[in-house]
């Protein structure tokens, strides 16, 4: 990672850069150009989601950059309709295929609200099976879910909240 970007420690000890590049609304076809420019100016943390429809473009852009996989932090998010264990595992595998990587740095529930009276005790029951070795950390993006789920990434949400209120 770029040496001048501060990091925050997740509950499990993994480090996440405090500055990242979000890919929402970047079409897959534009990812090589846009992500390439972001890498050129120093970004090393990238955020995507299944709902954004550009995981494959982000993966290709990172491969095209020539950066070592360990020099890039990649976050993706589970789609809202895939909260159940079996669906979450299939969905995770699809994310990995699209990104074209062996390990994801952070996998989040995009909008962790109970669906069909299903309330996960931890994110999608992860770490599960192959996903436990394929992702370094799991978490939730919506702070309200943190009351019932204690993911590795909840500390990031709290740290970001403190930073934004003290600015």
Which residue is it, tokens 């994310």? Answer: 95
DSSP string over the chain: --TTS-EEE-TTS-EEES--EE-TT--GGGHHHHHHHHHHTT--EEE--GGGT-HHHHHHHHHHHT--GGG-EEEEEE-GGG-SHHHHHHHHHHHHHHHT-S-BSEEEESS---BTTB--SSGGG-S-TTHHHHBS-EEESSGGGGGT---TTHHHHHHHHHHHHH-
> Is 43 annotated as catalytic?
no
Which one from 21, 46, 52, 73 is the annotated catalytic residue? Answer: 52
Q: How are strands ordered across the β-sheet holding 45-47? A: 21-22, 45-47, 73-78, 106-109, 138-140
Which residues are identified as catalytic? 52
């Amino acid at each position: 990672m770029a040496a001048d970007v501060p990091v925050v420690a997740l509950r499990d000890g993994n480090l996440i850069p405090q500055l990242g590049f979000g890919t929402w609304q970047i079409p897959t076809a534009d990812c090589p150009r846009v992500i390439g420019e972001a890498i050129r100016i120093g970004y090393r943390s990238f955020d995507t989601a299944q709902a954004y429809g550009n995981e494959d473009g982000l993966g290709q852009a990172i491969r095209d950059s020539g950066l070592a996989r360990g020099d890039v932090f990649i976050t993706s998010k589970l789609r809202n309709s895939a909260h159940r264990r079996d669906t979450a595992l299939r969905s995770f595998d699809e994310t990995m295929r699209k990104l074209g990587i062996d390990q994801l740095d952070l996998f989040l529930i995009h909008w962790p609200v109970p669906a069909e009276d299903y309330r996960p005790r931890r994110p999608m029951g992860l770490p599960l099976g192959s996903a436990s070795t394929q992702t370094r950390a799991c978490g939730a993006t919506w702070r309200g879910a943190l009351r019932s789920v204690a993911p590795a990434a909840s500390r990031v949400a709290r740290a970001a909240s403190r930073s934004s209120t003290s600015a």
